[in-house]
A and B are shown apart, each in its own frame.
Chain A
Amino acid sequence: MAASLSSSGSARLMTALARSSMLHNSFESRSLHVTAVCCKNRAARIRIGKGDRPLTYEQAHHPHQIAHRKGWLSQHTSNLKGVEGAAERTVEDVFIRRFMFGTFHGCLANEVVIKRRGNMLVVCALMLQKLPPQKFYFLIGYSESLLSHFYKCPVKLDIQTLQDKAVYKYL
Chain B
Amino acid sequence: MASLIRNVFLSLGRTNVCGLGIKETTNRVTYATALFANSTSGNKGLPDRGGRGSVGRRPRREPGEPRTEKMPLDQDWTSVYPSATSFKSNAVPLPVRMGYPVKRGVPPEKKGNLELVKIPNFLHLTPAAIKKHCEALKPFCTEWPSALDTDAKCDEHFPIKVESTDYVCAGPSVRNPSARIVHLKVKLSRFNLNDHARKKMLKLVGERYCKDSDILSITTDSCPLRQQNYEYAKYLLTVLYHESWKIEAWEAEKTAADMEEYSWEDSLSQKNMLDTLLRMKVAGEGEDADVRKQLLERKEVQDYKDSVVRLKNEGASESSMLQYKEAVRKVLNV
Q: Which residues of A come within 8 Å of B, CB atoms?
A: 56-58, 61, 65, 69-73, 75-78, 82-83, 85, 88-89, 109-111, 113, 115-119, 122, 124, 126, 129, 132-133, 151-153, 158, 160-163, 165-166, 168-169
Which residue on chain A has the smallest CB distance to residue B90? Answer: A160
Q: Which of B99, B171, B174 contacts A89 (CB 8 A)?
A: B171
Binds A, one of B112-120, B224-232, B281-289: B112-120
Q: Which of B99, B170, B172 contacts A117 (CB 8 A)?
A: B170
Residue pair A116, B102 in contact (C-beta under 8 Å): no
Question: Could you list 8 further interchain pairs (A-B, Cβ under 8 angstroms) beyond the known A57-B114, A77-B171, A165-B112?
Answer: A57-B108, A82-B178, A118-B168, A129-B63, A151-B172, A153-B172, A160-B88, A168-B99
Which residue on chain B has the smallest CB distance to residue A74? Answer: B118
Contact with A along B145-183 (1 / 0, CB 8 A): 000000000000000000000001111111000100000
B100 at the interface (CB under 8 A from A): yes
Q: A78-B171, A129-B63 in contact; A169/B102 too (CB < 8 A)? A: yes
Q: What residues on A are CB-neighbors of B30 within 8 Å?
A: none
Q: A124-B86, A160-B89, A160-B90 in contact; A116/B115 too (CB < 8 A)? A: no
Residue pair A115, B120 in contact (C-beta under 8 Å): yes
- The docked-state distance in angstroms from the alpha carbon of A117 to that of B111 is 25
Q: What would be 14 A-B contacts, judged by CB atoms less than 8 Å apart?
A: A58-B114, A69-B100, A71-B115, A89-B170, A115-B86, A116-B170, A119-B170, A119-B173, A126-B112, A126-B114, A129-B63, A158-B85, A160-B88, A166-B112
Residue pair B169, A77 in contact (C-beta under 8 Å): yes
Residue pair B168, A71 in contact (C-beta under 8 Å): no
Which residue on chain B has the smallest CB distance to residue A152? Answer: B172
Residue pair B117, A124 in contact (C-beta under 8 Å): yes
Taking residues whose C-beta sits less than 8 angstroms from the other chain, chain B's interface range is: 20 to 34
Q: Which of A56, A85, A166 contacts B111 (CB 8 A)?
A: A166
Q: What residues on B are CB-neighbors of A126 within 8 Å?
A: 112, 114, 117
Q: Which of B61, B113, B173, B174 contacts A57 (CB 8 A)?
A: B113
Residue pair A85, B171 in contact (C-beta under 8 Å): yes
B84 at the interface (CB under 8 A from A): yes
Q: Which of B108, B115, B169 contacts A70 (CB 8 A)?
A: B115
- The docked-state distance in angstroms from the alpha carbon of A119 to that of B115 is 23
Residue pair A83, B169 in contact (C-beta under 8 Å): yes
Q: What residues on A are CB-neighbors of B168 within 8 Å?
A: 118
Q: A158-B85, A160-B90 in contact; A113/B172 too (CB < 8 A)? A: no
Which 4 A-B pairs give the minimum distances between C-beta atoms?
Answer: A166-B112, A116-B170, A71-B118, A153-B172
CB of A171, distance to nearest CB on chain B (Å): 11
- The docked-state distance in angstroms from the alpha carbon of A163 to that of B115 is 18
- The docked-state distance in angstroms from the alpha carbon of A72 to that of B120 is 11
Q: Which of B108, B120, B170 contacts A168 (CB 8 A)?
A: B108
Residue pair B170, A73 in contact (C-beta under 8 Å): no
Q: Which of B61, B113, B174 contacts A166 (CB 8 A)?
A: B113
- The docked-state distance in angstroms from the alpha carbon of A44 to that of B174 is 35
Q: What residues on B are CB-neighbors of A58 within 8 Å?
A: 114
Q: What residues on B are CB-neighbors of A78 within 8 Å?
A: 169-171
Q: A57-B108, A85-B169, A118-B170 in contact; A132/B61 too (CB < 8 A)? A: yes
